[in-house]
Amino acid sequence: MRKMKPFLLVTDFGFLTYWSISLIILLGYDLVPVEYLYNDYHNPLMYAWNWSFFPLDMVLSIVGLISIRLFKRGNPAWYPLVLFSLALTFCAGFMAISFWAITKDFSPAWWIPNLYFTIWPLLFYKQFLRVRFTTAGQEVQRN
């Protein structure tokens, strides 16, 4: 968890920040220049597609932050929650990358963060599959 925590925090607070800014824009405030918005931002279908990620991003962020708190307290419930958060993070990034690839929109501004969301959870999943933990979150055995 010590190595994973910075990735969780960047991801979870990143999503919370992104959606806070999106909400401010939804309320009519021009907080972000148009050139930084995703391609075809004002198209109702694109707008709906973007907001369809809101529940997924909120769940993965909240569950990720809860897993950090539970780990600090030595509560073994952190383990399945962080696995769930990692799976949702991968799905969010992979779905976005798939969409941008299908639409042939290769903007680095959208690809870089979504590749980040897709790749980093896989690195930690590999470790989780090889390591067993005690209920206090301590590593006890490598397979």
pLDDT in tens, the chain (143 residues): 789 999 999 999 999 999 998 898 888 888 777 777 777 777 889 889 999 999 999 999 999 999 999 999 999 999 999 999 999 999 999 999 999 999 998 989 889 999 999 999 999 987 777 766 555 555 554 44
Place of tokens 């910075």: 6
Domain count for the chain, please give it.
1
Sign of the CA dihedral with 14 first, then 15, 17, and 21 last: positive
In a domain, 143, yes or no: no
Cβ pair 110, 35 in contact under 8 A:
no
In a domain, 142, yes or no: no
State CA 112 to chain mean position distance.
13
Q: What pLDDT, on the 0 to 100 scale, is given for residue 143? A: 41
The structure tokens listed for 72 are: 């600090």
Structural domain including 48 reads: 5-137
In a domain, 92, yes or no: yes
In a domain, 120, yes or no: yes
What's the predicted TM-score (pTM) here? 0.84
